[in-house]
Amino acid sequence: MGYGMEKSPDAFRTISEVADDLDLPQHVLRFWESRFSQIKPMKRGGGRRYYRPDDVELLKGIRHLLYDQGYTIKGVQKLLKQNGPKFVIAVGSGDVVTLEALTAEAAANAPEPAASDGDQVVGKAKAPAGRRFFGFGGDGEKGDDKAVDLSKENRALLQEALYDLLECKRLLDQVR
């Protein structure tokens, strides 16, 4: 590009410019657009996409989570739903200050906890209550008949974790 041809940082960018910038094929950007409702490029005549700076930053965050952090599409969708696009943009740009502010804000605005066991922000795991985890481990007493009573919510969370682990296994099996 010659002098004066460089676009200003707040200019709209075409899909080919964004694809080059993120080192991704254009079809990946179009696919992500179908999976993440938060990506909304403007479309002009002939369906040409024009990405705003925030769109590009969000795509960078999504790329970072999927490719560098090992998230699944479903995992990133959940992060976006629970924490919003600003959170994913901050993750992608390594903006720790914004991340901490958004995390604190999310904790403050979280709905009242189900069993008042503390607010949980996505990405921060709760420490298990004891050595025994759902009846496994611990002191090994077989006669201990304390049935593990899982709430529907916890059961759903475990099921989702299992699906995520199976997806990870599938991805690992592909590269082995």
The span from the CA of 29 to the CA of 36, in Å, is: 10
102 domain-assigned: yes
pLDDT given at position 58:
96
Q: Is residue 119 part of a domain?
A: no
Identify the pLDDT of residue 138. Answer: 46
For residue 50, which amino acid is it? Answer: Y
**pLDDT score of 105:** 75
The tens place of each residue's pLDDT in the chain, 176 residues long, gives 444 456 676 789 999 999 999 999 999 999 999 999 999 999 988 889 999 999 999 999 999 999 988 899 999 999 999 888 988 988 888 877 777 777 777 777 766 555 544 444 455 444 444 433 444 444 444 544 555 566 777 777 777 777 777 777 777 877 77
Q: Is the residue at 3 inside a domain?
A: no
Domain ranges, residue 87: 13-106
- What pTM does this model have? 0.56
Residue 140 to residue 152: CA distance in whole angstroms:
27
The count of structural domains within the chain is 1
| 62 lies in some domain | yes
